[in-house]
Every structure is written in structure tokens, then in C-alpha cells.
Amino acid sequence: MIGETTLKKPGLVPETLWDIEHYKEVGLYFYLEATKDILPNGRVNVENHGEMIMLGSYSYLGLIGHPEINAAAKAAVDHYGTGTHGVRLLAGSLKLHNELEDRIAQFKQTEAAITFSSGYVTNLATISSLLRKGDTVICDKLNHASIVDGCLLAMAKFVRFRHNDMDHLERRLQEAGGNGRKLVIADSVFSMDGDIINLPEMVRLCRKYGAYLMIDEAHSIGVLGETGHGIEEHFDLPPDSIDIKMGTLSKAIPSAGGYVAGKKELVQFLKHEARAFIFSAAIPPGSAGAAKAAFDVIEAEPWRVKKLQDNYDHFAGRLRQAGFDLLYTETAIVPVVCGSTDRAALLAKHCQDRGIFVQAVVAPVVPEGQARLRACVSAAHCIEDINYCADTIIEGGRQLGIIR
């Protein structure tokens, strides 16, 4: 209509948390680079960069491309096709899904297991569906974003304790009192620091104060324990130490999805109450077949776990000896602390220009002043490449004044 006024709309997207365009302009943006080929010995062929040593992959055991796992994925596609008919409760459940869940339960020594379409939604759905008003969820300060988001979505009281500080956890449990259920949640291995949660003390405190315990094993399956069975094996604890065992199928397990393993009553509840299970399509057959086979391979080839630990010891040992701060890492995740965002971005580019695929991780993902390279070693890496990566990082660190 003539004379009608319209309101001016604000921008569609808010301001980003860091200046992406600036880092693109100065040539320090390396994120979302496309891999064309996955090569042997922990190497990749990257579009516009050529062959690089992959130092950022979660394929801790080097199982991507394993012939037995590939064959299982292909057989599943040949038998079932590329997708499912829909959500599991209606038409999307395959015999293969039940077999995978049985295999996970066997691997984690629980009564049952449930699978979800991703690790992120596994945490989101499990935490938000289990907790009610009057309950309390107590969370390690450095837990993964998916855990935090699940806690925020839940109706329970949400409190945190200082990272791996068991005295502070005990105070939080005391403050929660006796009303409602208490759920304590922590990562087993912390994704940006590489350190391990003090599980024995968490188990003791949860039992003392009548709390349930949930552990996210995204970065510990295939990594911790002499045979890669995870954090309980690492600490030589009985299999009933953890009430809710969460894990992913996309890291040491070279597939996609997430799982929760525990008692039958827990799994039955989640299959009928967790919204991401009820309203999301099932894991595709190829992914389910690959994941099931991967658990078999881990048990059949325990040398991979030993090779991973040896590679970590050598790589981290060389960087520490050179003067780098690697925080408290004990696992395949090696945080090479640089300090400022610019220093981390410049050291990452120094490595990328010399054929190493490694990323800078900066605030707000990590605390301001603790920007870092997030390097991940693999059982697939040969010692020559491990040494080359260490030499390159040390050289760049000295040039940038990160180390002397």
C-alpha cells in the first residue's frame, strides 16, 4: 500500500565469535579443507595442498580403510541398501542394528546398548531425557559441548566442578543434598587437553553420595586399556563401575554414530523416551556394518593399541624435551600450547606449508591465552613421520618464540 512503512530487519546472522574473514585475508585459515584421498601410514591427499601427514584425525588406531571393515560395510549395503525405512520405533530397525548393539554391550560388558545417529545427539538425548525437575546434574568444567548442551536442555539443576578436581566434586555432591537424583558426568579423555578423568575417585564419591555416574568415552575406546576396551580397563576397575557408558562410532571406530551401554532398564527407557532416537532415522546399514566389524578388529589386533601408545610417548616426549607445554595429556591427543591466537595460527601455517595437516584451536573453544595446535597421533603413523612432525613443530616454535 502507498505510504506503508516496513521495519528494517537486523542481519540474518549475529557477529561471529572470532574474525573469520581476517584470518582468510592473511592466509591463516585452513579449516574445512577437503581430503581427496586417505593414504597409507596416516597420510592424506588434500585438495589444493597435495599429500600431507594427517596430524588431526580421530582415527587413533588407523582403522579407516581396514579391509575387513570395508568388506563388512559393503556387505551391509549389498544386503540392506544404503538407508533405512525411517526411525527405529516405526520401520527403521534392522537385524544389523540389534547385532551392533549386542556387540557393543559385549565389548563394554553391560546388559544392553542403544545406538544413535551421532555422538553429539547421543549425549544430548540421553542427558535431557533422563533428568527431571528436582534432579541435579554435576558436570566437569571441561566436558564436551554435547554434554553441556544436554545439561542445558534438561530440566534438572545444572552445576559444574573444577576440572578433574575431586575435592570440588565432593563439595558439589554435598550441596546437592538428598532430594532428587544426582547424575555426575565427565569425559574419560578430554578432547582438547588429552588428560584422563580420575575415574576411581569419581566412582567412590558417587557411591558415597548416592549419585549415578555417566562417562563419555569418545576418545578412550581403542585408546585406553591394554586391549583398548576403555577407561575401566585402564584403571583395572570392574565393569559395573559406570552406570551410563557413552561412546562414539566415529573415532577409533571408523564409522558414524554414538551409543549408550548399561542396564536393560536404561536402554529400554532411552528407546522409548530419548527424542533423538524416537525422531531420527537409524544409522545407515553401511555404517552399522562397519562399526560392528571394527569392534572385532580391535580385539583381534591389540598391537594397534600398543603402537598408538608408543607413537604418543615418542612424539610427546620430543615436544616436552624441547620445552613445549602439553598440559597434562597422557593420550593420543597432544595439545601444543602456543599462547595467543596469532601464535597458534602461525605455527599451524608453518606446519601446513611443510606438509603437515594440523589445526589451531583458539578461544572460545579453549581459554583465552591457551590457544594451541591440537595434534593427534595414530597407530598408522610411522616413526619417520612422527619425527618429521616433531622437528617441524619445534623449528616453528623456536622461530615464533614459543619455545627457546
Q: pLDDT tens digits, residue range 313-360?
A: 999 999 999 999 999 999 999 999 999 999 999 999 999 999 999 999
Give the pLDDT of residue 368.
87
Find, among 134, 157, 152, 150, the residue nearest to 187 by Cα. Answer: 150
pTM for the whole thing?
Answer: 0.95
Residues 290-319: pLDDT tens digits? Answer: 999 999 999 999 999 999 999 999 999 999
137 and 274: one domain? yes
Residues 109-130: pLDDT tens digits? Answer: 999 999 999 999 999 999 999 9
122 and 271: one domain? yes
Give the pLDDT of residue 307.
98
335 and 278: one domain? no
pLDDT at 72 over 70: yes
Backbone angles phi, psi at 274, to 5 degrees: -75, 115
Per the prediction, the chain carries an average pLDDT of: 95
Split at pLDDT 50, 70, 90, the class of 227 is very high
Residue 13 placed within a domain = no
Backbone angles phi, psi at 350, to 5 degrees: -55, -45
8-22, 211-225, 314-328: which has the minimum mean pLDDT? 8-22
277 and 389: one domain? no
273 and 374: one domain? no
164 and 277: one domain? yes
DSSP label at residue 92: I
Split at pLDDT 50, 70, 90, the class of 23 is confident
Residue 6 placed within a domain = no
Dihedral, 223, 226, 229, 233 alpha carbons, nearest 10: -110
Residue 337 CA to residue 361 CA, distance in Å, equals 10
Give the pLDDT of residue 9.
86
Residues 40-69: pLDDT tens digits? Answer: 999 999 999 999 999 999 999 999 999 999
Residue 246 placed within a domain = yes
157 and 265: one domain? yes
Backbone angles phi, psi at 186, to 5 degrees: -150, 155
Residue 89 CA to residue 108 CA, distance in Å, equals 24
Backbone angles phi, psi at 62, to 5 degrees: 65, 35
pLDDT at 85 over 90: no
Give the pLDDT of residue 3.
65
> What is the number of domains present in the chain?
2
pLDDT at 2 over 70: no
Give the rounded percent of residues in the chain with a pLDDT score beyond 90.
89
290 and 372: one domain? no
**CATH, residue 143:** 3.40.640.10
Residues 126-171: pLDDT tens digits? Answer: 999 999 999 999 999 999 999 999 999 999 999 999 999 999 999 9
220 and 331: one domain? no
Residue 232 placed within a domain = yes
Give the rounded percent of residues in the chain with a pLDDT score beyond 70.
99
41 and 102: one domain? no
**CATH, residue 334:** 3.90.1150.10
Residues 258-291: pLDDT tens digits? Answer: 999 999 999 999 999 999 999 999 999 999 999 9
Last residue of a domain, one of 300, 330, 359: 300
Residue 293 CA to residue 326 CA, distance in Å, equals 34
Last residue of a domain, one of 244, 279, 300: 300
Give me the DSSP letters along 344-388. HHHHHHHHHTTTEE-EEE-TTTS-TT-EEEEEE--TT--HHHHHH
Which helix or strand (DSSP H or E) is residue 313 part of? Answer: helix 303-322
131 and 165: one domain? yes
Residue 12 placed within a domain = no
* Helix-helix angle 383-399:303-322, to 10 degrees: 20
Split at pLDDT 50, 70, 90, the class of 1 is low
HSE of 170, CA atoms in CB hemisphere, 13 A: 9
Give the catalytic positions in this structure: 191, 219, 251
Residue 2 placed within a domain = no
Last residue of a domain, one of 272, 300, 328: 300
Residue 62 placed within a domain = no
Give residue 172's identity as a one-letter amino acid code: R
What range defines the domain where residue 394 resides? 20-54+302-399
Residue 48 placed within a domain = yes
DSSP label at residue 32: T
318 and 382: one domain? yes
Distances (CA, A) of 63 to 208, 231, 336, 381: 40, 20, 25, 12
Give me the DSSP letters along 190-227. -TTT--B--HHHHHHHHHHTT-EEEEE-TTTTTTSSTT
